[in-house]
Amino acid sequence: MRCVIEDDPYVWLEDVEGEPALAWVAERNAETAAALAADAGFTALKEELREVLDASDRIPYTVRRGAFLYNFWRDAEHVRGLWRRTTPEQYRKDAPEWEVVLDIDALAAAEGEKWVWAGARVRHPDHDRALVCLSRDGGDAVVVREFDLATRAFVEGGFQVGEAKTRIGWIDADTVFIGTDFGRGSLTDSGYPRTVRRWRRGTPPEEATLVFEGRAQDVAAGGWHDSTPGFERDFVFRSLDFHHSEMHLLTPDASLVRIDVPDDADAYAHREHLIVSLKSAWLGHPAGCLLAFGFDAFLAGDRTAEVLFAPDERTALAGHSWTRHHLILETMRDVSTRIEVLTPTPGGGWARKPLADVPALSAVSVVDTDPDVSDEYFLDVSGFLQPSTLYRGEIGAGSEILKQAPARFDTEGLTAEQFFAASEDGTRVPYFVIGPDRSAPDSAPGPALLYGYGGFEVSLTPFYGALTGRAWLARGGTYVIANIRGGGEYGPDWHRAALGAARSRAFEDFAAVAADLVARGITTPAMLGAAGGSNGGLLMGAMLTRCPHLFGAIVAQVPLLDMLRFHELLAGASWTAEYGNPDNEADRPHLRALSPYHQLTADQVYPPVLLTTSTRDDRVHPGHARKAAARLRELGHRVLLHENTGGGHAGAGDNEQAAHNNALMHTFLWQHLTPPVRPASG
């Protein structure tokens, strides 16, 4: 039963496309444009950022699909982008020859739609057809169309699905698993598919055979076909909430065999293995372990596991990827990445050795592998002040530098360091500081921007931020990334420490980092800005209402701010496992205490705030930002709102929008965090 929602005078701003709401948004956008876009340095900054986004010498990252390497590319000429491909031989060249597979700009012009590329499901192992997903102006909901990769054209009479938050994937040449909006009862309360159906070519989608069904209160249900030759299997799952799920093997006779792992674990089949990533202790193995079982033996009841990774208090699993004969393991030690290769041995067990040396305070990620055919891998290595280098290698046969990105900003005199702050409960919280070298005794505090997220087990690892480099670092600012609880930097326990009613620990961690920056003389409260998006926008709202004295300006992007209504808005019901459920009387008190929207008062002094959102964000409702802006205005506080009409949850659907949004944010920060220049005394 739904609880009674407290009176909210701005609930009318939740009407996404309502005329009064859009008229109000237009007024706020005009105010923001006058304050920021009219700034003397705005146009030049935006052009600098657009130059980075459109640069032709960016690394074109690819995904192998059979004989081709596929890439999606946007630049000044191709605003919506090109889906294109080349051969491995061509890709080695400085200027590869690309074959255009699908021109999204041409498609958008021909159909009069603001199409945004949302990916494609290529049929495996033939790689001859694709299910292309297209979003209207950047939303999560997509339309799906079958595409012929040989003729480079949509298939007339092929698989097509109308706009919805669809899950779809190939079973064979003429059959797909599909979950979509089939009408009443087919979606969960979160707006995602509740059913899994087997749909055959040439039949109406509503006649697709139901093979699995979740509950309305689940987040979603889905199914997929493992097409690995010799290991073909079908699976279905239901996400009970954002962090718990059930997986079943779907047998040829349509019966279900539960994959009996903890419901908070991540599990999948790979050839003869069942791979399980633990979020809680199980079978004597601690949370954070990566385990391998024999798939058939596991189904028969054998729970003998081989430990592929075991964490310690400073080390966590970051990711893993398969080649044909090996497993590439990515781990983090104090948030810096390490990488090694694991190889199953004939007598049992796994041999392991380092794959590559990674510089300190750097990140390494596996871009792509080809697990069906070879032990080839593509590896990207970068750092805060080091542009990306793309390596191509083959395990056992060495590696080579394939591509190197040029520097986008001047790093002369800049350093990257890691520090640790003590949170309110004594927890040691790491954070990265990138900015001017302050080793000289007379170094003075300067403008700093502190970024954080702190939720959903998302880890913030080192990266080369070209936009931040140009807009902030190159102009003398210091950029700081806080690895607060709620993220995954130290594994599942780091995330779990800030769940639900404990969410305030993430806020305390962020505030501790802010105070530590001041204590170290890096900045002052008046020169310290904070920024975060989505769940990080909730963090920004918490900083505004809980610790306004620590900051000189705050930016919240596509933020979550009303914690008593979030579950009623768009995909919000899927996040109750992270925050709590406002319909649960036991959760409501802590959610009200966490809710920035409900903590705003007239008698508090707040730093100036910039809120950004998108009308087409169908994940975090734009009403969060709209209502908070209205409430702040009513209370007499300094606030600007910019709502992009498109772009979805990313806030931008093309490079022009991305450059504009970034220029707005950094102009706002420079306006408020740079000390005024005072005339010399006479």
Selected catalytic residue, list 225, 326, 642, 649: 649
State whether residue 578 is helix, strand or coil: helix
- For residue 642, with 0-12 CB atoms within 10 Å meaning exposed, 13-18 middle and 19 or more buried, which class applies? buried
β-pair partners for 351: 343
> How is residue 260 written in tokens?
């009996």
Determine the Cα–Cα distance for residues 646 and 94; give it in Å rounded to an integer.
35
Determine the Cα–Cα distance for residues 553 and 559; give it in Å rounded to an integer.
16
Do the beta carbons of residue 601 and residue 568 sit within 8 Å?
no
Determine the Cα–Cα distance for residues 13 and 25; give it in Å rounded to an integer.
9
> How is residue 11 written in tokens?
């609930």
Do the beta carbons of residue 473 and residue 479 sit within 8 Å?
yes
Determine the Cα–Cα distance for residues 10 and 24; give it in Å rounded to an integer.
11
Q: Tell me if the bond preceding 608 is cis, omega within 30° of 0.
A: no
The number of beta carbons lying within 10 Å of the beta carbon of residue 17 is 7
Active-site residue flag, 534:
yes
Start-to-end Cα distance in the chain: 72
Closest C-alpha among 343, 339, 286, 335 to residue 310: 286
| Tokens 């097409």 sit on residue | 227
Three-state SS for 463-516 is: CCCHHHHHHCHHHCCEEEEECCECECCCCHHHHHCCCHHHHHHHHHHHHHHHHH
Closest C-alpha among 151, 150, 156, 143 to residue 117: 143
Torsion of Cα atoms, 370 then 371 then 372 then 373, to 10°: 60
Strands in 315-439 per DSSP E = 315-322, 327-333, 336-344, 350-354, 362-369, 376-383, 386-394, 399-404, 414-422, 428-436
Active-site residue flag, 666:
no
Closest C-alpha among 217, 78, 202, 72 to residue 146: 202
Torsion of Cα atoms, 538 then 542 then 543 then 545, to 10°: 130
Selected catalytic residue, list 245, 362, 382, 534: 534
Torsion of Cα atoms, 137 then 143 then 149 then 150, to 10°: -110
Closest C-alpha among 233, 264, 231, 260 to residue 247: 260
Q: How far is CA 82 from the centre of its chain?
A: 22
Q: Which amino acid is at 82?
A: L
Residue 336: φ, ψ to 5°: -100, 140
Determine the Cα–Cα distance for residues 193 and 178; give it in Å rounded to an integer.
9
Contacts of 294 (CB under 8 A, 6+ apart): 272, 273, 274, 302, 304
Give the dihedral sign, CA 155/156/159/163.
positive
Q: Which residues are catalytic?
A: 534, 649
